[in-house]
């Protein structure tokens, strides 16, 4: 199983496998053809409230990760997480995000959960 996290603005690479956009909003200034996104499971992304709370600097990354994991336990999100886990079991999955710090974002939380 191989799960990667990359910025969606980086050019696609041949070894990306299935490219999954894990942001709720489409990245600014990026054409859909250039992004080469295979899947966009919006219900797998953090809620608007959680995203705003984290970006406002009101809490730590660790607290954000805990709250996000709790959101992922909801039935629709859990089903999508299982779907992406199945994709990863078959080959490489690249989680795409527009954030400038993927290592401290929801994408890294997802990657950790998928690798577990």
15 contact partners, CB below 8 Å, separation of at least 6: 92
What is the model's pLDDT at position 36? 95
53-101 residue pLDDT tens: 998 988 899 999 999 999 999 999 999 999 999 999 999 999 999 999 9
Note whether 100 and 94 are within 8 A (CB).
no
**Count of the separate structural domains present in the chain:** 1
Beta bridge partners of 20: 39, 95
pTM value surpassing 0.95: no
Q: Which is nearest to 2 in space by CA: 26, 22, 18?
A: 18
Give the structural domain span for 66: 2-115
CA distance 22 to 37: 10
Task: Quote the tokens at residue 39.
Answer: 């899947």
């Amino acid at each position: 199983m191989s799960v990667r996290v990359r910025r969606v603005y980086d050019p696609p690479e041949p070894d990306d496998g299935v490219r999954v956009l894990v942001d709720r909003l489409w990245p600014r200034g990026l054409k859909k053809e250039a992004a080469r996104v295979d899947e966009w499971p919006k219900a797998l992304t953090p809620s608007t409230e959680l995203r705003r709370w984290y970006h406002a600097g009101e809490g730590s990354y660790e607290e954000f990760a805990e709250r996000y994991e709790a959101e992922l336990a909801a039935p629709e999100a859990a089903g999508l997480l299982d779907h992406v886990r199945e994709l990863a079991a078959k080959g490489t999955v690249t989680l795409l995000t527009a954030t400038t710090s993927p290592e401290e974002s929801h994408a890294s939380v997802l990657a950790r959960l998928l690798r577990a």
